[in-house]
Amino acid sequence: ALQAGIVGLPNVGKSTLFNALSSAKAQAANFPFCTIEPNVGVITVPDQRLVELEKLVNPQRVVPTTVEIVDIAGLVKGASKGEGLGNQFLGNIRATDAIIHVVRCFSDDNVIHVDGNVNPVRDKEIIDTELQLKDLDTIDKKISKSEKQAKTGGDKDAQRGVEILKALKQHLEEGKNARAFEVTPEEKEKFLDELCLLTIKPVIYVCNVDEKSVISGNEFTAALQEAIKAEKAEVLFISAAIESDIAVMESYEDRQMFLEDMGLSESGVARLIQATYKLLNLATYFTAGVQEVRAWTITKGFIAPQAAGVIHSDFEKGFIRAEVIKYNDFLKYKSEAACRENGKLAVQGKTYIVEDGDIMHFLFNV
């Protein structure tokens, strides 16, 4: 499954947010290094379309789709040199597909800040620097390897690789992240993907704000937004404290009332999950039978057999064809039979690229 890792300095609210996300029971305490084991949470993706499909199909059960979120604690200044178990944490980041970077944008004298005062721009740079230093290590190793290959084999590709890596090295030394490095998709795939660089992973910033700032932010969020203008990354204002209050509320109505009182239509957790889904380049298709209405996660661009493989590898191997109904057609005609009668059920083959919202029925050999 695709994974997003939550990173940030100690005491910025990562575990609080993670707990709200997963309702897992990691300890949130007021001191650095509280959460040293990476916690993996499986998070349900809220999707209004499932609610609508349920009304029409009236199935025995409804199964939403999920993404995995890992709480990566303990990143501090010096992590790339192994401080505070730094290397282990950096390794955990390497295994993720995207980064949720939490920065503290609330003042609270009761919550100790590892660097003395609230300053999200500095905090973000501390984390970035550690990740960049780690990437520089990786790149240096690769450069010396490729240089040998370029010399001995007269290998043209290796030479081009060295050129790109040296340019990227300079870019990182200027304090920039690899994700902002300009390279063609082909060369990225050829020379960079195998390195699993940390700063090349897509990122969302979460400003952990006080209650009053969830809608329009505050001076801290403004400073951060100014600092990351060039990154074109999404920035969310979330109050981890509010989210943990909401997470323990039993009824949906209570939650909605609480949110409305605050002028919000959706919880920060819901916004974050949706943003993460987008960041990971994921799409959802549905299966809609009387037993089960279910959402399935695919990477955008998956062809029909790959999408079938998400359900079961046999579905991919034995794929014959798929019957596809667009979500909006299903909503309009209200059943598979009615869609079929009205020519809204398309038969698609192996090369069909599945779209977000497709309702799929796979036919396969066993």
Binding residues for ATP: 11-16
Kindly tell me which residue out of 5, 7, 16, 131 binds ligand GDP, with binding defined by CB under 6 A: 16
C-alpha 292/C-alpha 294 separation (Å) is 6
Q: What angle do CA 3, 277, 210 make, to 5 degrees?
A: 95
What value, to the nearest 5°, has the Cα angle with vertex 178 and ends 176 and 179?
A: 105
Distance CA 230, CA 361 (A): 43
- Strands (E) in 72-178, as ranges, are 98-105
According to the binding rule CB under 6 A, does residue 34 interact with ligand GDP? yes
Whether 239 contacts 214, CB under 8 Å: yes
Tell me the C-alpha distance between 303 and 355, whole Å.
Answer: 9
213 binds ligand GDP, rule: CB under 6 A: no
Give 24's contacts (C-beta < 8 A, 6+ positions apart): 18, 39, 41
Binding residue (CB under 6 A) for ligand GDP from 10, 41, 84, 86: 10
**Quick one: which segment of 24-32, 89-97, 136-144, 309-317 binds ligand GDP (CB under 6 A)?**
24-32
In the complex with ligand GDP, the residue whose CB is nearer, 205 or 352, is 205
User: For strand 319-325 and strand 359-364, is the pairing parallel, antiparallel, or unpaired?
Assistant: antiparallel
Segment interacting with ligand GDP (CB under 6 A) among 11-19, 179-187, 288-296, 312-320: 11-19
The region of 22-30, 85-93, 142-150, 268-276 touching ligand GDP under the rule CB under 6 A is 22-30
| String marking each residue 227-256 x if it binds ligand GDP according to CB under 6 A | ------------xxx---------------
Q: Is 101 in the site for ligand GDP (CB under 6 A)?
A: no
* Binding site residues, ligand GDP, CB under 6 A: 8, 10-16, 28-30, 34-35, 73, 106, 108, 111, 208, 210, 239-241
